[in-house]
Amino acid sequence: MLADFALRHPDMEHLNQALFLWINANDPSTTSLFIGHLLANTLIYLFPVYIVVNWLRTDGAGREALLQAVVAAIIGMILAWAIAKVWFHPRPFAIGVGHQYLPHKATASFPSNHLSFIWSLCAGLYLHPVRRRAAVILAVIGLLVAWARIYMGVHWPLDMVGALVTAIVAAIISAPLRRHAIPHLRRVIEPVYHLVFAWPIRKGWVRA
């Protein structure tokens, strides 16, 4: 495990703390804290909004890519939860390192749940050629969330590396579902969607 490797290699843990202190805010302005809070806690909502909005306007292949992303994100969150249960790594503020500007419980820091969700979703999207460009763009946006959560003092840089590895593993686990399970899931969901959105579909506001 990456975190366990860090403990066995003090130089990596030292680098982790040094990078954290370099990124973590020190006497920031009110504007900087506002932007940091916005990126750390609010930007994540862009990702489920992306899924919903694009479901309303894409075709079957596009919807299967979106479902793959959701499945990968769910797997990623399960993996992140399991890792935190098996190996507890304290957050920076819990051991008195750096400055904390974002209220947060002293839960396990590794890997970052926010980035495990974001990058697992992006990795799931990347499995489908029709959404690879979007996956890359969203993954880059995820870097802003990663930076902000370190800047605001609630995560270590290594937590973000762990989230990236978690996302890759989640995508690998979800990949075999692409051929049969994901198309079947789309066929199950679409009739419900057609029923609920019948009027907007008739108006041509959303795609059938």
Contacts of 69 (CB under 8 A, 6+ apart): 51, 121, 122, 124, 125, 131, 135
Q: What is the pLDDT of residue 57?
A: 93
CA nearest neighbour of 73 among 112, 124, 22: 124
**Domain boundary assignment for the chain:** 30-137+156-191
- Give buried/exposed letters for 57-90 (b at 16+ CB in 10 A, else e): ebeeebbbbbbbbbbbbbbbbebbeebbeeeebe
Q: What is the pLDDT of residue 5?
A: 46
Helices (H), 38-129: 46-55, 60-86, 113-126
Around Cβ 175, how many Cβ atoms within 10 Å? Answer: 14
Backbone angles phi, psi at 103, to 5 degrees: -60, 135
Q: What is the pLDDT of residue 87?
A: 87
47 and 119 Cβ atoms separated by less than 8 Å: no
Query: What is the pLDDT tens value at each position of the chain, 208 positions in all?
Result: 444 544 455 678 888 999 999 999 998 999 999 999 999 999 999 999 999 999 999 999 999 999 999 999 999 999 999 999 998 989 999 998 999 999 989 899 999 999 999 999 999 999 999 899 999 999 999 999 999 999 999 999 999 999 999 999 999 999 999 999 999 999 999 999 999 999 999 988 999 8
Residue 85 Cα to chain centre, angstroms: 19
